[in-house]
Amino acid sequence: MAFFSPHRPDPSEGGPRIIAGLSEIADRYDGFILDLWGVIHDAEKLYSGTVPCLQALRSRGKRTVLLSNAPRRVAVIERQLSALGLPRELYGDVVSSGEEVHRQLATRKDAAFAALGRACFHLGAARDASVWEGVDLDMVDTLPEASFILNTGPWDDDATVAQYEETLKQGVIRDLPMICANPDLEVVRGNKLVLCAGALAARYEALGGRVHYVGKPHEAVYRRCFEILGTSDPRRILAVGDSLRTDVAGAAALGMDSVFITGGLHAAEQGINPATPPDPARLAELYAREGVAPTAAMPMFAW
């Protein structure tokens, strides 16, 4: 069976391939790695195509993993999905960057985590406390007390990177390593974009700080998904996401095909409403600018 390259559009289409729903290509794959924010929901509601699409995949025996850069543990995410009205039986396992950070903090098997001390300064909101709860850490209130920084993102949705400049500078001065529990720069919440931990981590690096990222587009979380899906052949897996930088680039690096949801993170950049089909020319420009292209694109997650 022939597969489209995850690095460029289908050449037979003469440009970016745009599909109406997964039904057009789903039969080529056994497993699906699905992003959450911008694909399944917008943090306030499920998208209209979510339940029908997951039902269709399940009825055809397709395996799914929900892969999120959310800096929260899986149990917290599953409760959020339930509150949004998503039946648990419609999706498979959930893998989150928050869960992976928690596991690494507890086991210290990864070299980056093994080198950390126990004194942790949390840069983020109290809602992300599940990332370290139950782990043998000393949570400290000031940087001079800390041996590392755990970055889960801004404290509120209206925050700017500039508001954290002094804290980030002080961390660099003290040469504190930073664990970034969400590599996303931004995410869609309702009808607005809000900053994520990745934006603070990028600034920390620009100032000279050391950052270890956990989550998409980095390889470790995808390997975990492969284990869950029961295959080592990336050509049999399709990734679906709304971020070229994380979802599409991460899939390409592992040799997977991908579908880019144009109505999510990049919708405003393309000048479209979330449900509006993208303009092929503007889509091609976006791919060129980001330096990566998916197998296909579609406006919203739908069957």
Q: What is the CATH number of the domain that holds 171?
A: 3.40.50.1000
Which of 213, 241, 264 terminates a domain? The answer is 213
Looking at residue 275, its pLDDT comes to 72
Q: Where in the sequence is the domain holding 25, given as residue range(s)?
A: 11-69+216-298
- Does residue 137 belong to any structural domain of this protein? yes
Looking at residue 232, its pLDDT comes to 82
In terms of domains, do 195 and 141 share one? yes
CA distances from 147 to 118, 143, 254 (A): 7, 8, 33
Q: How many domains does the chain have?
A: 2
Looking at residue 247, its pLDDT comes to 96
Looking at residue 4, its pLDDT comes to 32
Distance of CA 289 to the CA centre of its chain: 20
Under-50 pLDDT residues of the chain = 1-13
Which of 187, 213, 239 terminates a domain? The answer is 213
Q: State both tokens at 8.
A: 């460029």
Query: What is the rounded distance in angstroms from the CA atom of residue 65 to the CA atom of residue 240?
Result: 11
- Does residue 189 belong to any structural domain of this protein? yes
Q: Please, are residues 22 and 57 in contact by the beta-carbon 8 Å criterion?
A: yes
Looking at residue 2, its pLDDT comes to 29
In terms of domains, do 231 and 205 share one? no
Residue with tokens 């959310």: 70
Looking at residue 190, its pLDDT comes to 65
Work out the angle at residue 200's Cα, subtended by the Cα atoms of residues 194 and 205, and round it to the nearest 5 degrees: 150
- Does residue 276 belong to any structural domain of this protein? yes
Looking at residue 14, its pLDDT comes to 59
Helices 197-206 and 165-173 cross at an angle (nearest 10°) of 50
Q: What is the pTM of this model?
A: 0.88
Which of 178, 213, 248 terminates a domain? The answer is 213
CA distances from 29 to 8, 32, 209, 279, 297 (A): 18, 7, 41, 27, 16
